[in-house]
């Protein structure tokens, strides 16, 4: 176990604590349990996935916490070594295999910024090892992974925050709070609101390049470990390093790259953190087997009638099925409007740092993150399959469409499994 000096505040805490005898290293979160954790405690941290968004995601993990980087992990060792050097002068140990990193006893908090096909498996494993997690968006590559993450963090009582933070602003915005109250009140029947996201989903930017052909694997990259739970494919450089977003095996195009940023706060505003759409209608050409491509629009309708619409603005016709309109207090009767006005504001959302210290759920908790990711996955599946899909948000399966259901929980490559 790596020996790390105590900070003054940490030492003074241990002096008053029954666990003071162990004062030789950072004590992992799971020694203390919950919820009485002094704000001065130092946390052992690590980053898994050190390229691209990695450093930024790690900074988010550290906000408001006293931390010490103890490990950096990447399937490409040049990236983990570079990050360790930049953030710990090389003191943090560099790993290629996250399994070895998670075996450490001095690790409390893990930032995950791998490509998304690894997000769920590593998040779950980190929870199983007793760690709290801040995971880059999108939360998952497919629907069943999200449910498995939710179950794991509930089982182990760990803190999880998805790496998008728009909902924190919305939860402090008066207009958004009002809409949240209207939609969470249950008073809105047969809602005809349509919220549209037009453009900004980087469809062309994150379309993949087909037909490149096998290339030589860089010496520092463990390609088999990179593929991990996704189907093995011959190495092509564009399958890594950011352009991975354009391949179905790892992400899901601009929809998944940008979608969680947009729809996570929308989902909070319209009080849909607990559910998913029931009907998904796409307009898209047949997709390519490997790479993401063009689509025009997708409509996602919830059980109460509320609709999210995505219009790519980069290909095909505009959406014209329903007029775009927002939720309004005027949609309700005078009596119901008074009920809304007397409703208390929703509880403030806790940041990751606050949640870790208080041992409470973070604002971007697993269920909310999963439901937001489901919006993207369901939209993408409708785009890929090219047909209207009916979805049961409780059972999390498509209704009367066995072939579509195959995409909700595709088998992983051994030895990876959820």
Partner 1 sequence: MNTKEILNAFPQPEGKILRNIDKEACERAVEQIISGGRKITREIIDLILEPGNGDDIRPRHAIHATAIRVGGTGKEIERNSFASALASTLNDDRPKAVKGFVIRQLQICGGAKQAEAIAHFLNDSEEHLYEYSAQALEVIGGATIEYFRTAYPSAKGAPRITILQGLGLLQDKKSRPFFLSAMQDTDLEIRLAGIWGLMRISSAKDAELMLSQSLKEKGWGRIKATAYCFELAEKLAKNDQSKEAKAIYIRIKKSHSEKQDAYLRETADRGLVQLK
List contacts with partner 1 (CB under 8 A).
19, 22, 28-34, 99-100, 102-103, 105, 125, 128-130, 152, 155-158, 204, 207-211, 213-214, 231-232, 234, 246, 283-291, 293-294, 315-316, 384-387, 400-404, 406, 410-411, 413-415, 417
Phi, then psi, of 81 in degrees rounded to 5: -65, -40
Beta strands in 260-400 (DSSP E): 279-283, 297-301, 307-311, 389-392, 397-398
Residue 102 or residue 182: which is nearer to partner 1 going by CB? 102
Residue 239 or residue 272: which is nearer to partner 1 going by CB? 239
As a whole number of angstroms, the distance between CA 27 and CA 320 comes to 58
Q: CB of residue 307 vs partner 1: minimum separation in angstroms?
A: 22
Phi, then psi, of 176 in degrees rounded to 5: -70, -40
Query: What DSSP letter does each residue of 156-191 carry, written as one string?
Result: HT--EEEE--HHHHHTT-HHHHHHHHHHHSS---S-
Q: CB of residue 378 vs partner 1: minimum separation in angstroms?
A: 15
Residue 92 or residue 385: which is nearer to partner 1 going by CB? 385
Residue 128 or residue 338: which is nearer to partner 1 going by CB? 128
Q: CB of residue 28 vs partner 1: minimum separation in angstroms?
A: 6
Token pair of 301, please?
């309708």
* SS3 call for 192: coil
Residue 125 or residue 375: which is nearer to partner 1 going by CB? 125
Token pair of 262, please?
């947009």
Q: CB of residue 413 vs partner 1: minimum separation in angstroms?
A: 6
Q: CB of residue 248 vs partner 1: minimum separation in angstroms?
A: 10
Residue 103 or residue 326: which is nearer to partner 1 going by CB? 103
Residue 269 or residue 292: which is nearer to partner 1 going by CB? 292
Residue 348 burial by Cβ neighbours in a 10 Å radius (0-12, 13-18, 19+): exposed
Q: CB of residue 77 vs partner 1: minimum separation in angstroms?
A: 19
Residue 229: CB atoms within 10 A of its CB come to: 21
Residue 325 or residue 387: which is nearer to partner 1 going by CB? 387
Non-local (6+) Cβ contacts of 92 within 8 A are 46, 69, 70, 71, 72, 83, 84
* SS3 call for 219: coil
Angle made by CA atoms 413, 205, 164, in degrees to the nearest 5: 70
Q: CB of residue 279 vs partner 1: minimum separation in angstroms?
A: 14
Nearest to 21 by CA among 8, 36, 31, 34: 31
Q: CB of residue 202 vs partner 1: minimum separation in angstroms?
A: 12
Q: CB of residue 306 vs partner 1: minimum separation in angstroms?
A: 25
As a whole number of angstroms, the distance between CA 60 and CA 80 comes to 18
Residue 209 or residue 333: which is nearer to partner 1 going by CB? 209
Integer distance in angstroms from the first to the last C-alpha of the chain?
Answer: 29
Residue 129 or residue 221: which is nearer to partner 1 going by CB? 129
Q: CB of residue 183 vs partner 1: minimum separation in angstroms?
A: 30
- Tell me the sheet residues that pair with 44: 68
Query: What DSSP letter does each residue of 310-336 carry, written as one string?
Result: EE-SSSSPPP-SS--B---GGGS-HHH
Phi, then psi, of 217 in degrees rounded to 5: -75, 130
Q: CB of residue 365 vs partner 1: minimum separation in angstroms?
A: 16
Strands 66-73 and 42-48 turn out to be: parallel
Residue 263 or residue 352: which is nearer to partner 1 going by CB? 352
């Amino acid at each position: 176990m790596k020996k790390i000096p105590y900070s003054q505040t940490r030492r003074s805490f241990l002096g008053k604590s029954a666990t003071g005898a162990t004062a030789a290293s950072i004590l992992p979160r799971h020694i203390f349990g919950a919820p009485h954790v002094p704000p001065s405690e130092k946390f052992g941290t690590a980053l898994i996935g050190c390229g691209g968004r990695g450093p930024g995601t790690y900074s988010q993990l550290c906000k408001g916490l006293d931390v010490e980087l103890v490990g950096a992990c990447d399937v490409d060792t040049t990236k983990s070594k570079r990050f360790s050097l930049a953030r710990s002068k090389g003191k943090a140990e560099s790993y290629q295999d996250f399994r070895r990193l998670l075996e450490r006893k001095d690790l409390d908090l893990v930032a995950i910024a791998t490509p998304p096909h690894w997000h769920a498996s590593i998040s779950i494993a980190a929870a199983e090892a007793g760690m709290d997690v801040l995971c880059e968006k999108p939360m998952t590559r497919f629907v069943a992974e999200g449910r498995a993450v939710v179950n794991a963090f509930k089982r182990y009582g760990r803190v999880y925050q998805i790496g998008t933070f728009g909902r924190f602003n919305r939860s402090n915005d008066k207009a958004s709070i009002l809409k949240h109250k209207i939609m969470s009140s249950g008073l809105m029947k047969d809602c005809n609101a349509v919220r549209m996201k037009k453009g900004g989903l980087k469809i062309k930017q994150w379309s993949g390049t087909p037909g490149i052909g096998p290339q030589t694997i860089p010496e520092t990259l463990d390609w088999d470990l990179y593929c991990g739970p996704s189907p093995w494919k011959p190495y092509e450089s564009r399958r890594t390093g950011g352009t991975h977003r354009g391949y179905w095996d790892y992400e899901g195009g601009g929809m998944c790259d940008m979608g969680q940023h947009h729809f996570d706060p929308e989902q909070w505003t319209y009080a849909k953190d607990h559910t998913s759409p029931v009907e998904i209608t796409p307009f898209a050409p047949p997709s390519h087997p490997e790479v993401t491509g063009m689509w025009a629009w997708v409509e996602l309708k919830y059980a109460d009638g509320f609709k999210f619409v995505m219009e790519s603005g980069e290909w095909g016709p505009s959406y014209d099925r329903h007029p775009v309109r927002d939720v309004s207090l005027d949609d309700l009767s005078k009596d119901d409007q008074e009920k809304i006005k007397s409703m208390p504001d929703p509880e403030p959302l806790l940041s990751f740092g606050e949640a870790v210290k208080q041992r409470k759920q973070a604002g971007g908790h697993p269920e909310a993150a999963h439901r937001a990711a489901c919006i993207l996955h369901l939209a993408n599946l409708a785009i890929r399959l090219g047909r209207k899909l009916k979805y049961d948000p409780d059972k999390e399966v498509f209704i009367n469409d066995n072939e579509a259901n195959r995409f909700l929980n595709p088998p992983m490559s051994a030895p990876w499994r959820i």
